[in-house]
Chain A
Amino acid sequence: MALRMWASSTANALKLSTSVSKSHLSPAFSISRCFSTVLEGLKYANSHEWVKHEGSVATIGITAHAQDHLGEVVFVELPEENSTVSKEKSFGAVESVKATSEILSPISGEVIEVNKNLTGSPGLINTSPYEDGWMIKVKPSSPAELESLMGAKEYTKFCEDEDAAH
């Protein structure tokens, strides 16, 4: 509990989103060199996307660590609804600091909804990467793919190792 409060106040001080108040997800692990929040209850890819699997729908976005490393997002390109996405293949792109960065899908499936708010407000990815900044909702075609993704603890360590190595 203390850790959760510390993380929340730190994130507030740094003006990062923690999404604590809005959902049952808790920032159980949030200590990393960039003070980025990692949420329990999500699965993570080593290319820094997250997946929230609820029933037959998987919501996908990029992590707080990813948005911090991108800088301010000014443009988002998303796929069409009813298109398909494939695990570890690009489904869209974001632009920040004159750089276009591809976003890779952690799982395969059919796109059932895209976040149209990101067209007018691409910065939601920075301010609310796990909530309002969600990118696509997918009907997973191979639910087993979720098993190979990282949990919160593993992803936190992955980020720390990645930052520490350089």
Chain B
Amino acid sequence: MRSPRTLEVWRLGTVNYLKSLKIQDKLVSERKSHQIPDTLLSLEHPPTYTLGKRRTDHNLLIPQSQLTKIGAELHYTQRGGDITFHGPHQAILYPIISLRSIGFGARNYVETLERSMIEFASMYGVRARAGNKCETGVWVGDRKIGAIGVRISCGITCHGLAFNIDPDLNYFEHIVPCGIADKEVTSLRRETDALLPKEEVIHKQLITCFAKAFSYDDVVWKEDPSFILDTKDDG
């Protein structure tokens, strides 16, 4: 008889990318030492390009000096995956969870993240699918609607997934998204005729699909985001 699994969810609104990395570092450390249960951050970023551990900056198609002109930042990270864009109206989930407590490796984890997004898309009548080999992520036909890039350290996850609700897709023109050329990027807005509710509602639906896919028994909605947004820099 397994013990009940609880997920604590923080909805943070728009968070600067570097700040979100600091918050995640702190939470990963607290999760490793069992100070907190499995935790999920739900947020958006201002326009930001990010690179993964392999530093595939040849997939950024404009000079870095042009980035401020288009109102975007660039950050190098330790996550897996290639270059991607984050921006307003793209729903991001950063799960800080223990994979060892569910016996998951990277593959099971990523496949379950994909299933979360596919289930969410189906709520709007959008038939999404997991990527083929080497195309991790969620696709509608040949158009990518959800991206994944994660880091696993001592069995604790950080970074996560990004689902395009209605971001400005022009920003994707300046990169080879996820290193896959000749494939389009799309959004929920483009793929459905359904009326989209307020984004707060949409984020909650995505979170619920995540919690269901990972078989959480309890979801605790944390009400005071300032508790972790006001994280002091430790150095």
Contact = CB atoms under 8 A, between A and B. Distances in A.
Interface of A: 47, 66, 68-72, 74-75, 77, 90, 93, 95-102, 104, 162-163, 165-166
Contacts of A165: 2, 103
Nearest to A165: B103
Q: Which 5 pairs between the two chains have the least Cβ-Cβ distance?
A: A69-B105, A98-B81, A99-B106, A71-B107, A166-B103
How many interface residues does chain B have, given as a range?
Answer: 20 to 34
Contact of A104 (B104, B106, B150, B154): B154
Contacts of B109: 99
A166 B102 contact: yes
B33 to A, nearest CB: 14
Interface string B158-189: 00000000000000000000000000000000
B21 to A, nearest CB: 14
A70 B155 CA distance: 12
B53 interface: yes
Interface in B23-57: 52-54
B78 interface: yes
B155 to A, nearest CB: 8
Given A163-B103, A166-B102, A99 B54 contact: no
Given A100-B150, A100-B152, A95 B105 contact: no
Interface of B: 2, 52-54, 78-81, 102-111, 133-134, 136-137, 148-155
Given A96-B80, A97-B136, A98-B79, 12 more contacts: A47-B154, A68-B107, A70-B106, A71-B106, A72-B134, A97-B110, A98-B149, A99-B150, A100-B52, A100-B78, A100-B79, A166-B104
Given A69-B105, A71-B106, A98 B137 contact: yes
A100 B102 contact: no
A68 to B, nearest CB: 8
Contacts of A93: 53, 78
A96 B134 CA distance: 9
A77 B81 contact: no
B110 A95 contact: no
Most chain A Cβ neighbours within 10 Å, of B106, B111, B148, B152? B106
Contacts of A102: 152-154
B103 A70 contact: no
A128 to B, nearest CB: 19
B80 A97 contact: yes
Given A93-B53, A166-B102, A99 B80 contact: yes
